Structure 1
Amino acid sequence: MPRTHAMPLRRTALAAGALLAALSLTACDGSTGSGSSDSSAKAKADQPLKLGQPSPETQEVQRYNKTGKFTITPQKVVMGKPADLDELNDKKYKGYTLAWAYVNAKLADGDTPFKGPMIATNVGMQMEGGQQGTRLILLMGGLSSRPADCHDEDTEATWKKGDDHTLCVPFVVPEGRKVAYVLYSKGFSAEPLKWAVE
């Protein structure tokens, strides 16, 4: 994968969680009462959402000593062309292309008004086979190939409760590889939310 100015998502192992769940069920002496219900609920919660579905719970974002609670809704992924990266004039992008993730965020609760939430830093992309896309951060200017409806995140805007904005995040991905999921990181200790790209 080419090195870009990116903020990769933190990943945690599922194996430890699965082992703990198995131990918990064993400790119930084979009972299939509440333990079975809890397992079913967790399994359902771990199922990927579909693009256009809001996050099942609000996600906390902290900045300027305030905490906002946001509903996150990835809407679509727009694939670019390999030539889109040519203007960066860097051979490391050979064999790669761009994928643009459109994500809506709505300030549902928390400390309001809220200034400058940085939502894009938590957005990720996963390809078929599990490989992560790399978020592309352009330090100066933009790309001429950027879709007309693709807007950068305004990190200094002031949001009121109920405000929502759609941001567009570019990722460098392997050419010819299908994007499987848009991700939203929930921090160090939890698996990211997943939205399946069909």
Structure 2
Amino acid sequence: MLYRKTALRVAAPVAVAALALTACGGGDGKKDSGDRAKAGARAAGESATGESKEGLVSADYEVTAQKVELGTEAETAKMVSDPEEAKGLIPAVAHVKYTYKSATPLATSPRVSYSSRIWADGRRGTLIVGAADGKQGCEAPRSIKGWKRGESHVLCETYLVPENAKDLEVHWSDLDGEAFVWKFEATR
């Protein structure tokens, strides 16, 4: 299901080689209670329309979270500098389709995917920057130039989530701070 919620805007890049379990709120054992109120519900896979900041301009997008792929603890160990700190965590890759809606072509690499996050059982996961690079079905934002109206691309983000998570959510926040939320069952 898709819910529209107000979200906290937290963006802390984490290097692939260094894991900081608290960078994006993950690993602290606390649930986030400030932005979990329901607004309107929509069907899973349904698109939402919102704005993203692209350089100096705002751009309109149609956004659809397509799926979340779960990995293994062994894959996590290869992504982090200290596998002991990531014990019990697995990678979750959000595949999100973005369709560009603005009239003026996008001149730079898109930043729209930077506003997507994965939550597991009510807790925000830990971002692993660059881990989705080269993943099948995922495009590299750096390779997209001159994005034109009506053109779609699937961009992915990888987060570490607890291995035993049952419910996954993909959140995407627009410029107004509104978050669109797609719910997925954690299936392996």
Q: Same fold (TM over 0.5)?
A: yes
In 2 relative to 1, CA 175–72 (structure 1 residues): closer, same or farther, beyond 3 Å? Answer: same
In 2 relative to 1, CA 80–186 (structure 1 residues): closer, same or farther, beyond 3 Å? Answer: same
Q: Which position in structure 2 is the counterpart of 1:178?
A: 166
> How does the TM-score come out when normalised to structure 1?
0.67
Give % identity.
23
RMSD: 3.1
Regions of 4+ moved over 6 Å: none
Q: Which position in structure 2 is the counterpart of 1:3?
A: 20
Distance 1:12 1:176 in 2: 21
Distance 1:86 1:116 in 2: 30
Q: Which position in structure 1 is the counterpart of 2:76?
A: 85
Structure of higher CA gyration radius: 1
- Out of 168, 181, 186, which is 1:194 matched to? 181
Structure 2 unaligned segments of length 5 or more: list them.
1-18, 26-31
- Out of 162, 165, 171, which is 2:150 matched to? 162
Distance 1:185 1:12 in 2: 17
Structure (1 or 2) with the greater strand fraction: 2
Aligned length: 159
Structure 1 unaligned segments of length 5 or more: list them.
19-42
Distance 2:143 2:24 in 1: 16
C-alpha contact (below 8 Å) 1:185/1:192 kept by paired residues: yes
Which residue type is aligned with residue 3 of structure 1?
A: A
C-alpha contact (below 8 Å) 1:106/1:163 kept by paired residues: yes
Select between 102-111 and 148-157 the one with higher mean Cα deviation: 148-157
Which residue type is aligned with residue 115 of structure 1?
A: T
Q: Which position in structure 2 is the counterpart of 1:40?
A: none
Structure (1 or 2) with the greater helix fraction: 1
